[in-house]
Structure 1
């Protein structure tokens, strides 16, 4: 099936119709943010699942109950997806944690008025592309990617869901008011996850002692997080995501890690 058949166009970008109804988009547009809300923002395949594990563990002072018992799409839901309409998000106690893949210019009036805290995660586009290609092959609600070359043209032209990686990063990096936004990269987390946990906890005004930081980082190392059935998408029916085509959580490696394995990778130039 084609993009026109499987995707809706919203504010100039493609969204998969299966999980983005007109009702859910209206719900998002009218959503009432609170100043202490925490919004994780990512382009697809840029560390979304990772942050859905890390942030709840920080907010709970390392208590694993939530991440062990609640699927990540409910513990840190997408505000733009149909499921958000049924989660009674307005009744959740503060601070609430949400996620979105939307570009900066797609954010709602309520977001710009209230200015909740934002954690923006970036990832090297080489790795985003590779991960996105495999994901598109295993998710039935996405257009079949074709060859890598064919999908590369779509990716570069912004014809994948949620639009252009370049527009996404540029928009959020150029946000008018950045004092409530924390920027972090996937590669930074790979190089030193404990230091990244420390940075995130400081941004969220959540003090953690050294031992707790170490425990959270150890739990969220990719190989350990991948074992959590509440995070690895193994609970999703195979007709929506076929694990025989590709695992949802594949390797969890970044461009700088590969360079580091063969030489030395500095913290600069991550993108």
Structure 2
């Protein structure tokens, strides 16, 4: 770890009214992202933090490698699918060959201009926001480049107000999905959909990427993208990150991988308040999310995005 990285652990960058952790983001890197030169062969994974980013990086890796596990087991996910807004991205891309796999947490309005006229494929992964906020809270507790989240109640309030890193979840998910028509090649998929039917989700992504898989390739991809396999893969689970940056004694980056786990953290009052804010902020959206599970089966239907 460089002195530069250590010096920026406590830095917060503000860009276009949104705050970002300065450990990985600079004004220069954020400007680089908003002016990014997309290529038609690019695949861009877009997520709000803690919404299935790592999972989709693994899915696209395994689909594009047609079930071959070598890249998954030898190359860290941040190197094979760099975040375009993080300072190291240009150097990674200079050393890369072939079609590029990219990642971003940026809201649509910051990338709209860069994507205009591009045929790059965009995959947007969304997740039940109650599970997002719980996962995000626990990540703040172990990631030393993120602010102290305070109590869960305090963090939940910040999340609902959109004053957390990367801004408002509501603005992020609505911004990308409501502008899906402005993107030539756009795939919307949910974390819950992947959890319920990983094999089907792999097939959905392979069709979108026009990269059909044979049965044995699909089986290999499904095994590699399973939560247990990923949680033990050091190229995926962030255990390669030094303790000074990510304190693994305070939790796991890949914590549970479940859906509906928010019920173990939210109080009834917090859940009710969240529902009211959600209803207000998402009144103009057709998106539906899974809120609960019964045993191991999903008891709420996942509805497709009607505008895509």
Structure 1 residues not aligned, in runs of 5+ = none
- Residue 146 and residue 117 in structure 1: after superposition, are their counterparts in 2 closer, same or farther (change >3 A)? same
What secondary structure sits across from 1:120 in the alignment? strand
Q: Which residue of 1 aligns with 2:284?
A: none
- Shift of residue 184 of structure 1? 0.2
Q: Distance in 1 between matches of 2:157 and 2:200?
A: 36
- Residue 39 and residue 69 in structure 1: after superposition, are their counterparts in 2 closer, same or farther (change >3 A)? same
What secondary structure sits across from 2:135 in the alignment? helix
- Residue 260 and residue 36 in structure 1: after superposition, are their counterparts in 2 closer, same or farther (change >3 A)? farther
Q: Distance in 2 between matches of 1:6 and 1:206?
A: 41
- Shift of residue 156 of structure 1? 0.4
- Residue 45 and residue 220 in structure 1: after superposition, are their counterparts in 2 closer, same or farther (change >3 A)? same
Structure 1 contact 37–94 (Cα < 8 Å) conserved: no
Q: Distance in 2 between matches of 1:264 and 1:228?
A: 27
Q: Distance in 2 between matches of 1:20 and 1:267?
A: 38
Structure 2 contact 15–27 (Cα < 8 Å) conserved: no
Structure 1 contact 7–14 (Cα < 8 Å) conserved: yes
Given the alignment, which residue of 54, 69, 76 partners 1:71?
A: 76
- Shift of residue 23 of structure 1? 2.4
- Shift of residue 115 of structure 1? 3.8
Structure 2 contact 83–104 (Cα < 8 Å) conserved: yes
- Residue 270 and residue 110 in structure 1: after superposition, are their counterparts in 2 closer, same or farther (change >3 A)? closer
Structure 1 contact 52–72 (Cα < 8 Å) conserved: yes
Structure 1 contact 104–171 (Cα < 8 Å) conserved: yes
Q: Which residue of 2 aligns with 1:261?
A: 295
Q: Distance in 1 between matches of 2:50 and 2:11?
A: 20
Q: Distance in 2 between matches of 1:91 and 1:242?
A: 30
- Shift of residue 20 of structure 1? 0.4
Instruction: Please state if 1:203 is matched with 2:208.
Output: yes
The number of equivalent residue pairs is 266
Q: Which residue of 2 aligns with 1:177?
A: 182
Q: Which residue of 2 aligns with 1:47?
A: 52
Matches within 5 A, 1:125-136: 125-136=129-140
Structure 2 contact 13–27 (Cα < 8 Å) conserved: no
Structure 1 contact 188–267 (Cα < 8 Å) conserved: no
Instruction: Please state if 1:238 is matched with 2:243.
Output: yes
Using the size of structure 2 for normalisation, the TM-score is 0.82
- Shift of residue 179 of structure 1? 4.3
Q: Which residue of 2 aligns with 1:84?
A: 89
Q: Distance in 1 between matches of 2:216 and 2:72?
A: 19
- Shift of residue 209 of structure 1? 1.6
CA offset digits 1:40-89 (Å, max 9, x no partner): 000000001111111111101111111111111101100000111321x1
- Shift of residue 18 of structure 1? 1.2
Structure 1 contact 14–161 (Cα < 8 Å) conserved: yes
CA offset digits 1:174-211 (Å, max 9, x no partner): 01424411000000000000000000000000011222
Q: Which residue of 2 aligns with 1:147?
A: 151
Structure 1 contact 122–186 (Cα < 8 Å) conserved: yes
Q: Distance in 2 between matches of 1:204 and 1:169?
A: 22
Aligned CA RMSD, in angstroms, stands at 1.9
Given the alignment, which residue of 7, 28, 31 partners 1:26?
A: 31
Instruction: Please state if 1:226 is matched with 2:249.
Output: no
Q: Distance in 2 between matches of 1:59 and 1:192?
A: 19
